[in-house]
Structure 1
């Protein structure tokens, strides 16, 4: 039986690894990076997006092709443009006869072309083909850009494309190097990394299958976060078990006995830590924003696999390897455990424990003041949204094209606001739109026009520039207007214009129309609805996560005061990390701002993951406090967990830092916030602030449990270093 159990566990996980390996190559086929997919179904922009296909006859997303010559377009340029447009119109994925004629700017230096693209073919692939075609045979000095919603979407997809493998390699390499330095063993890091990689494979296989069944929404952003979470969490849980196993090998001769002792000593802390993260992530299900809601279960599945692998596969592998896993520094049977004082009291952690014991109040006050000062940087945090064109860090053809478009045309050309309302009020709606400051021009969708639209003025619907005339397309008694804005669709002025339009249509008589109410969608409306939902989620999820984690800690530690203090320290750590990040984003990297979801995700990851280290510490402290008294237990717990928690924190920080390889603003910011915050948690909060605060308070920290009323023994109660042969193995023997 002792041989069969680990063999079966390893075989099962090997089967999971074999079956799930192909999932990594399938992610791009099921991933959805379109911003509209992330909005709530009830949002106006979402409803307009669904209705657009009825008016156009196809489910399309527009691209805008911009030609530009500094000295002005020549006759040869216009001939070349017309020839290219004929080729573009014939491409698969481009709406047949949907490409507009080239419209030359008033200054004669640029021309724009609207190229509707069908969503049945991946727009990113169509954009890639169009870009390659347009750069071939272009007259010298004539520049061309593909921008608009389709171009921006293609650049976002391109930012993730092919980088998932790089992200995984960078994360694994960082973890491997750190583990080799910490353990000075060639085998142990491979066992830990193998466990993490197998857990990730199982998680990826599961979420890809769920995405294929349309049960979850998977995006490149979610995929990157999933990889980092699983590798970081699985490594953290593995390191906690490895530390207990190494301790047990000093007390038990046989690997089997050491394995069970290590499991008894670690499973509760690992399960509590993983459970805290899972519950915190599942709080995202209460989000309005579908991207947040989708990340919750996907990431929770990843943490679940990390937990299972750390408590099943890793113990089986460590049982197989035994003391050899730690070669060349193998733990010897009967060797001394690190302690707060005595012969084993050498090293950094006994010194830290003595500092905390002698200067507890000075230490925790100094740490709190330091973190408080760092938190002052929050005043400069700009997290009210960024233009979609700034989503990609580095080169973006769509962003360059948007700049060229804004320089020669109304900024909103190619990204109009879509207004859908009752056909019976077409004149009133048109007058309202045209009377709104920030609107440049207005058209109405018309199947009678070759270009698909007809101009609208205060005098009504007009013939098109090609001389075509006709009636607006009416679907279920509604028409669709397209309002070109003065400003680029993803800018703050454009958002102000759309909000003004919505405010106008929220008043009578439109507010009384019920099902015939006026809806406004498009790029700008999508950004507004996304930001509004993100702010709602931030204000709801942060307190919800705090409350849930507080309850879990109370149940785990059987105390009220200790969990409250732990939550406060982690929140202070989060505020400090966000404050410093704000200064770095503004002063060092020069980022244009941050998405409203950045502080929320930073909070969820930092609090849920950062509390792990406090759980690792305080479960050990409580265990020691039962036997040695609270103050002595704090020192012993700090010494026992110092090395493993610091190693785990550095590993987790390194894995999140690996997100920085993806040229995506959101992930770069999350990467820095979480990596820096984890280091603060590891080095300051868990090593100094929490132990010093607990030591200063004393046994009252366990209030109202019986432990808060126990008589302090001053560390005089002793336990035998090695259990008697007839004595059952217990965590109390493992010292």
Structure 2
């Protein structure tokens, strides 16, 4: 079936039919389907498992507190102490937010009262920092929300008080800054990736035509894949994040260019043996078509395994990458052969391959760089294996300071206004003031949150939680300004009302944590707080199901719990599935085992180096929580391409010559291609390092380094050494001589493989 498909795409008539069919289908799909950026989401709770408590809390808040907006904090700091001018400026901002000139989607507004000072809960204990609290209504990722936050920032910046620092942040400001970064990611990443790939292709091929063909093919697939993925995301309710679209871009350009390299390198080789370009391409695809299909299949298998993840961010990545890679694999088997056949030798202009040029190359392949490397490896495979394994093993020491980071603020640039507002806020308030952990309470039927009995129960619950060592302060309907402020009975009811649902049937208690709400200490406190809330609620007659703890810290804790589970379950399944694909392709059980082992070893060495670089050298708080997971997925799914390309060529050549000779010849032939492909794949992922997000910078660095280690060390030194040491056991349990490459092994100095 595969042979018929590739034969048709490279035939005199089929190449034109294939090209027209691709152009027609692409034009139709791109014009009729939405763009992928129209389907992106940035609300963290949407990516959690549906049964996670933070998810249920988020849904409860949306249902019972529909008028509650996203908090925006206008933070003001005066190092010498807040003076009358600062309070006056805060009052002017609050009056504007509450007045007719304010944007329509501004909700409740709270401003510091100079008479109450610290008791208002909006002024720091040291009297140097305060904030104006405002709720902005609507979806945080949509334009009206962003416009309102920007208006607040413009208004606050116009105050211009000498000696007073002002920054607008809070959860609302953070979302706006994240959306702003993601809005620029697609264009910037695509531009950097295309330019990088173009430069590398020109260097590799020294041909502008050959550099343009992959970009044309991959660019077309990129547009079609994005449109199809957007349709699936919208119609199947898949939460696709901005990070997912960025990852899809680099995966598609990286793998797509690799597939084109595999095809074009073999096509160039075949053009030296066949005068007819159609016959040269037919033989090319008969030789590498299976390897391309198998390489794509491994990524698709990994994507299917992602469907077993509980984190919806991991689940959503699977279909998006699967669609992109499936289309790219189809293009590599049809569109790319058609384009190369149309151009023929002119595709490599001005370095066009000449007929019979292979005759001279057959004599000097041993003297090529990879021919010489192969000679060294095969002469002392045991020593080569020991030295390389020990060398990479040193990198494992980098895992000692390993820790993950869940802080979205750490991922943003330091000059982002939400980051500056946090720095101002933390200088005077407990670290958790930025994003309180929220306890939602569903009251018994008929009870109202502001009824005396309910208020007494909520007050007891507030004080119980405020006594936890991880909690700096707590506020709710009974104590709207915190445990150190006056009770609700002496305050206007409107102040307490922000903690109560419109119908009075539900209440909210905000817990300000002592630690950074995204720190390990804060996350570790979540299960204790949930247990304490249920115990205290039970003593007050509240059922366990009526109490839900949510908020950013709870969402990060549930993300960590689900992510740990996914790493233990999904990642081994991906490795096993890839091993099964290799077993089918190589018809062996032994080779897939050591190939999977080399991939896992490369992964841990890469992770160790990445942790050492970012935690020890660049002083990052930790590695982004999703980086190790995605690094494993991509190194397994992408580097296996080189395994397949090398091992399938060794198997092909070993049918005609001794295994040692076949291994050296295959390394000499595939080495330049794998090196070029590895450099391009590493280059595309390094494009992520140009983006102003720390998590993507770390992921881009880690995958790029991992691919280079795999290209220059694992695939070039370790795998050939293992093949040589195992000999015919590589192919066990194949039994028939026709199925045991190298069964006629006669040593390294056997004649060169027959070509034709």
- What is the TM-score normalised by the length of structure 2? 0.88
Q: 1:568 to 1:464 in 2, by over 3 A?
A: farther
Among 64, 75, 78, the alignment partner of 2:87 is 78
> Contact (CA 8 Å) 2:396, 2:604: kept in 1 or not?
yes
Aligned position for 2:396:
375
Does residue 1:40 correspond to 2:68, yes or no? no
Residue 626, structure 1, aligned to residue 655, structure 2: yes
Q: Counterpart in 2 of 1:567?
A: 596
State the Cα deviation string for residues 353-406 of structure 1 (Å, max 9, x = none): 2112212221122111111122222222222x2422212133222122112112
SS, match of residue 200 in structure 2: helix
Q: CA deviation at 1:142?
A: 2.4
Secondary structure (helix, strand or coil) at the match of 2:166 reads: strand
Is 1:217 the counterpart of 2:239? The answer is yes
User: What residue is the counterpart of 2:489 in the other structure?
Assistant: 463
- Gap change, CA 1:476 and 1:716, over 3 Å in 2: farther
* 1:63 and 1:414 in contact (8 A); partners too: no
Which deviates more from structure 2 when the two are superposed, residues 7-16 or residues 60-69? 7-16
Distance 1:466 1:621, change over 3 A: same
Asked if 1:553 corresponds to 2:573, the answer is no
Does the Cα contact within 8 Å between 1:454 and 1:464 map onto a contact in 2?
A: no
Match runs of 1:217-366 below 5 Å: 217-336=239-358, 342-366=363-387
Identify the match of residue 112 of structure 1 among 106, 110, 131: 131
For residue 445 of structure 1, report the CA deviation from its aligned partner.
5.0
Give the match's secondary structure for 2:476.
strand
Task: Identify the residue that residue 728 of structure 1 maps to in structure 2.
Answer: none
Partner of 2:4: none
| Preserved CA contact (<8 Å) 2:76 2:167 | yes
Q: Does 1:711 align with 2:744?
A: yes
Return closer, same or farther for 1:235/1:163 CA change in 2, 3 Å cut-off. same
Partner of 1:449: none
Report the secondary structure of 2:357's partner residue. Answer: coil
Q: Structure 1 stretches (4+) deviating beyond 6 angstroms?
A: 20-25, 91-94, 458-461, 469-472, 511-515
Q: Residues 426, 76 of structure 1: CA spacing in aligned structure 2 closer, same or farther, 3 A cutoff?
A: closer
Greater Cα shift, 436-445 or 305-314: 436-445
Q: Which residue of 2 aligns with 1:443?
A: 475
Tell me, yes or no, if the aligned pair for 1:417 and 1:485 is still in contact at 8 Å: yes
Shift of 1:617: 0.2
Q: Counterpart of 1:99?
A: 109
How far residue 433 of structure 1 moved from its aligned partner, in angstroms, is: 1.2
Residue 343 and residue 648 in structure 1: after superposition, are their counterparts in 2 closer, same or farther (change >3 A)? closer
Q: Map 1:364-513 to 2 at 5 A.
A: 364-383=385-404, 385-423=405-443, 426=458, 428-445=460-477, 454=480, 462-463=488-489, 465-466=491-492, 473=500, 478-505=506-533, 507=535, 510=538
* 685-694 or 87-96: bigger deviation: 87-96
Per-residue CA shift, 1:402-455, capped at 9, x if unaligned? 121122233323522211235365355334313222333333359xxxxxx845
Q: How many aligned positions are there?
A: 714
3-state SS in 2 of match to 1:264: helix
Distance 1:166 1:21 in 2: 21
Is 1:677 matched with 2:702? no
Distance between the aligned counterparts of 1:337 and 1:686, measured in 2? 27
- Give the gaps of 5 or more residues in structure 2: 1-7, 113-121, 445-456
Deviations along 1:651-674, one digit per CA (max 9) or x if unpaired, are 000000000111111111111111
Distance 1:621 1:464 in 2: 84
SS of 1:112's equivalent in the other structure is: strand
Q: 2:752 & 2:366 partners in 1: Cα distance?
A: 16
Moved more, 238-247 or 61-70: 61-70
1:216/1:298 contact within 8 Å kept:
no
Q: Distance in 1 between matches of 2:614 and 2:32?
A: 35
Provide the rounded CA distance (Å) in 1 between the counterparts of 2:665 and 2:565.
Answer: 44
Supply the distance in 2 between the matched residues of 1:470 and 1:78 (Cα, whole angstroms). 22
- After TM superposition, give the deviation of residue 251 of structure 1 in Å: 1.8
- Residue 729 of structure 1 is matched in structure 2 by none
Secondary structure of the structure 2 residue equivalent to 1:418? strand
Q: Is the 8 A contact 1:436 1:497 kept in 2?
A: no
Residue of structure 1 in register with 2:194 after alignment: 172
SS at match of 2:508: strand
